[in-house]
Chains A and B, each alone.
Chain A
Amino acid sequence: MVFVLLFSSAVFSNGAVPGWAVDAGLKFVQNPDDVFYNFHLDNVDYTPVNSDRRTTLRTNFLSSLIPFTWGNLSLKTRVISNRQFNSWVPQIDIVGNYSRIIALDVASLVVESEDFSPPTMSDYSVGFLMSKPVSRLTRLYAGFQYSVVSLDFEFPEPLEITSETNISKLQIARRDYILITGIVNKVREDKRVAAYMGYGFVYKKIFSRFSWHYDHLEMGFNIYPEGLLVIHPFLGWHWNF
């Protein structure tokens, strides 16, 4: 939200920032990498493929596509089934995510000012998840992912947040190795409850999500204890194949 405000102010207006956002803007300036990284983590799918399906395609649309125009797609596919070779073998899924901020791509195409440098962005995540049923309705899982967000964006004019603080460019670069442990419980035929906790080794980052999954819709909360916004409610949509 802070970024959209700053970005739209810089590109589409005269650079003025509403007073209520100054405080949030100052906090954003302190650590923009973390703010972007948290929204990136919102988009990543950290739950295993349902044991009776092969592949899942997922997109997070709130709060990413709406309101940030942050389009994203996660793909996960089961490569080894539970007990496939031996009773101890867990289900193993390969997972990946790719995202783009569409507004930045559109701005690169539309804005023709000499002062405007097209932004560059990279946002993806790859890894694997292992899951094991512990009862008829409950599965435990763990996984590992390599997660990257980088963004290089220069504002056409420095954006003044206070008389002493302004932003002229955003250079986001964060890569982390994420360990995930979680649980999925089938509450009804068409409803699952899931929770996990993640830890990033490079930035010593703790984060978490608990969510409700229906046939296609999923909703819940992402929690970033050290984030600018500690709780990110989310809505997502998935297709199981």
Chain B
Amino acid sequence: MNIRKIFTTVAGLLVLLAPLSSAQLVPYYNYQFTEGVSASPEGDLGFIINLSNDIGTIFKPLPAHTFIGFYSLKYQGPGLKRQEGREFSERYMDHIFVGRHHWNIRGDLILKTQSDILLEGRRSGTNETWESGLYNFNRYGGASYLTKKYSKDFIGTASFGYHYMTFPNYTDMLAEIRSGADPSASEGKQNHHVLNQSVKTKYKNNTAKFSLTEQLYSKQKVAVDNVQSDGTYYSSTKQKDMTVGLSADRVEGLSKIMIINPGISITYKNSNQNYQHFETATSTNPVKFFKDYYDYLDFGLNIPYTLMLSRKWSFVFSPDISYKIYTKRQPRDQDGNFKDKKQSRFLGVYTMGFKKQIGESSSSLMYFTYQNQVANMTYERYVAYNYSAFSTGFKFQMEY
């Protein structure tokens, strides 16, 4: 390569990179710490700790293009008093990496594209380390969002996303206990593809959203009610789940110091997976078969309310209720017998808190929550379906 070619190449690069000299680089940081304690009516105390640390950079090399790099480290588990052994509570740790590109195609059309990786370590027992957690998973994928501004007040966004989830340590322990199955047979059973599509519209203070999520399992087969040629109760059909969501909310300023943000949602879950009921974990002959056992409808209503008490202090109140009913699943009585009804539950979560802004970057929140669930499922040997509990806690946040 002669001097002239080198000169031309360098000059060309300088012309191309010239706009970068005015590039803007804006860092972003968010830190959150929450410590909470909950009490059941029986007086049992449960602690929870939540730590979250997000760090990112917004890079704008050209007026129409913005790049965002983002790393998030999150932890959730028991707090204050370390809970190990028989008191062990589940805890998880997330590492999230996101790379996002915003392309302002025209003044009224923006395309956002991102790729992301989530690595989750989950410890569900004292015998598990962060590396060996049965439910550890990795998620890889991305999403695109196309936003169109029809007018100053009317904005529409359509999105499509794809992720692949792998559970490297998962094994079906129940199948191994029941039939002495080879652990390798259940390897990858939880791995699945996730497809998301959504449409969101915003008109003035009102937002409405429709979303469709499909989970396509790579290996997990659908249970059937008769023994197959391979001696199992699984057909050759792979599991496929679908969730449809509809939601709407409105932000309403009741006065200069009062904001209300009511929202409603409807979620429908459909799965081709069925359920074979065994009397005990070690029994090999199912006693009852339920088709569409996992399908349900969930109706939600929440009305968050914020009152500015002063320049630094605000009061928040958030009642959140939901009613969930399974389309086919039957509830069980106290002895475990199935009842001739459809399983349903009503859940109410009522939170109030005082928030204080400290300086330009930090804030703290003291909160108090009452939670109540009423269900027609009364078989509560392993899981409580009817309960009420109080929790209170403190949250500290710093952000820029």
A residues at B contact (CB < 8 Å): 27, 30, 88, 132, 134-135, 137-138, 140, 142, 181-183, 185-187, 193, 195-197, 199, 204, 206, 208, 210, 223, 225-231
Contact = CB atoms under 8 A, between A and B. Distances in A.
Contacts of B130: 204
Contact of B400 (A27, A140, A142, A231): A140
Contacts of B398: 183, 185, 193, 195, 210
A231 B35 CA distance: 10
12 contacts: A27-B82, A30-B84, A138-B360, A187-B359, A193-B361, A195-B31, A195-B398, A199-B73, A204-B130, A223-B33, A225-B75, A230-B81
Contact of A225 (B31, B77, B131): B77
Contacts of A142: 55
B73 A135 contact: no
Given A193-B359, A195-B31, A230-B47, 12 more contacts: A134-B26, A182-B29, A183-B398, A185-B361, A185-B362, A197-B53, A204-B131, A208-B31, A225-B91, A230-B78, A230-B80, A230-B82
Contacts of B400: 134-135, 138, 140, 183, 185
A135 to B, nearest CB: 7
Contacts of A30: 84
Given A193-B398, A210-B396, A223-B33, A231 B80 contact: yes
Nearest to B79: A230
Given A181-B29, A196-B31, A206 B51 contact: yes
A223 B359 contact: no
B121 interface: yes
Contacts of A27: 82, 84
Contacts of B49: 223, 225, 230
A226 B77 contact: yes
B361 A183 contact: yes
Nearest to B75: A206
B362 A140 contact: no
B181 interface: no
A182 B93 CA distance: 18
B51 A226 contact: no
A140 to B, nearest CB: 5
Contacts of B29: 134, 140, 181-183
Main secondary structure of the interface of A (DSSP, over half): strand
Which 5 A/B pairs are nearest by Cβ-Cβ distance? A197-B53, A185-B361, A187-B359, A195-B31, A204-B130
Give the size range of B's interface with the partner.
Answer: 35 or more
A229 B93 CA distance: 19
A63 to B, nearest CB: 16
B10 interface: no
B286 interface: no
A19 B255 CA distance: 59
Contacts of B77: 225-226
A226 B82 contact: yes
Nearest to B57: A140
Contacts of A140: 27, 29, 55, 400
Most buried by A among B29, B73, B131, B362: B29
B214 to A, nearest CB: 33
Contacts of B64: none
A204 B93 contact: yes
Contacts of B18: none
A187 B359 CA distance: 5
A223 to B, nearest CB: 6
Given A206-B73, A225-B77, A226-B77, A193 B84 contact: no
B33 A208 contact: yes
B73 A195 contact: no
Given A88-B25, A137-B360, A138-B361, A228 B82 contact: yes
Contacts of A186: 359
B365 to A, nearest CB: 14
A196 B55 CA distance: 11
B31 A132 contact: no
Interface in B2-35: 25-27, 29, 31, 33, 35
Contacts of A225: 49, 51, 75, 77-79, 91
A35 B307 CA distance: 43
A218 to B, nearest CB: 15
B71 to A, nearest CB: 8
B45 interface: no
Interface string B84-100: 10000001010000000
B358 A193 contact: yes
A204 B121 contact: yes
B18 to A, nearest CB: 17
A30 B26 CA distance: 45
A208 B130 CA distance: 18
B36 to A, nearest CB: 12
Nearest to A139: B400
Contacts of A185: 359-362, 398, 400
Contacts of A138: 360-361, 400
A196 B31 CA distance: 7
